[in-house]
Amino acid sequence: MSTAMTFQLVMAQFGSSSTKQENLDKAEKALEEATRIHHADIVVFPEAFMSFYQIGTPREQKLEDAEPLDGHFATTMRALAKQYGVWVVFGTRETTEDSDDDRVYNTAVIIDSDGEIVSSYRKTHLYDAFGAKESRDIKPGTALFEPIDTPFGKLGLFVCYELRFPEIARYQALHGADIILVPSGWVRGHVKEQHWETLVTARALENTAYVVAVNQINEFYIGQSLIVDPMGVVVARGDETETLIPYRIDLERVCDVRAKLPSHLHRQAHLYG
């Protein structure tokens, strides 16, 4: 697979609602504008973009909302990716195959410009923190994402809360990731905005890779999506509104930084246990 050294990535910083069709309509508008205005090659939507439920929504309603990856929502997103000739990444609630477990998966899906699902990832580290209990409704995946070759270099991926686990980002880097996508729904709270920027920046710098962290935005989530380059420089940033955030990624930057800062060659893995 040939690789373009530069490509146009667009972060779709949007909040979703409990009505899937509204979210699909929003996705179509975003993809039309991202390709027409920004000439996007890949558009990344946030975690759980398929649907968002307010605190207090009955658990049964949230769980019944889940779909398989051949369900209506993912199938429509596939059709939109093909229609606009663009790669698409988005978060969904995926049904499980376990009849004895009534939880669902928090899944990120990668679709190519032909409308094919090329990979997906079920979030493994769940947000049981700051008073939340994601594991009550979400079943954890059983494996980390395996970085994939694309026309835009090698893509790694993990989801939101997993920013707090440096081992996950390091796994992506050790498996060749040049760019790590992080679909997110970063919840508001005391010093949480500081945590967000610090963690995204650290994961980029320590792995000398681009980190593309796309966040939901509403009264519950902070927005402020970020792209941080391999030297730890914030090169694109969202505000507190729904918006498209374009950035042209240059893979030569990864090569240049790793030549100056070859920390990936200096690991003493035998010491880490």
Q: Round to whole Å and give the CA distance between 37 and 246.
A: 10
1 — pLDDT class (breaks 50, 70, 90): low
Q: Round to whole Å and give the CA distance between 158 and 121.
A: 8
Structure token digits, residue 158 = 């993990």
Q: Round to whole Å and give the CA distance between 139 and 142.
A: 9
Catalytic residue (choose from 47, 67, 94, 162): 47
Catalytic residue (choose from 20, 26, 123, 139): 123
Structure confidence by residue, pLDDT tens digits, 230-263: 999 999 999 999 999 999 999 999 999 999 999 9
Whether the CB-CB separation of 268 and 247 falls below 8 Å is answered with no
The reply to whether 47 belongs to the active site is yes
The reply to whether 192 belongs to the active site is no
Structure confidence by residue, pLDDT tens digits, 108-166: 999 999 999 999 999 999 999 999 999 999 999 999 999 999 999 999 999 999 999 99
- The residue among 2 and 48 whose pLDDT is bigger is 48
Mean pLDDT, the chain, whole residue set: 96
Structure confidence by residue, pLDDT tens digits, 208-227: 999 999 999 999 999 999 99
Catalytic residue (choose from 26, 94, 154, 160): 160
| CA nearest neighbour of 193 among 157, 222, 226 | 222
248 beta partners? 8
213 beta partners? 182, 226
pLDDT score at 159: 98
The reply to whether 255 belongs to the active site is no
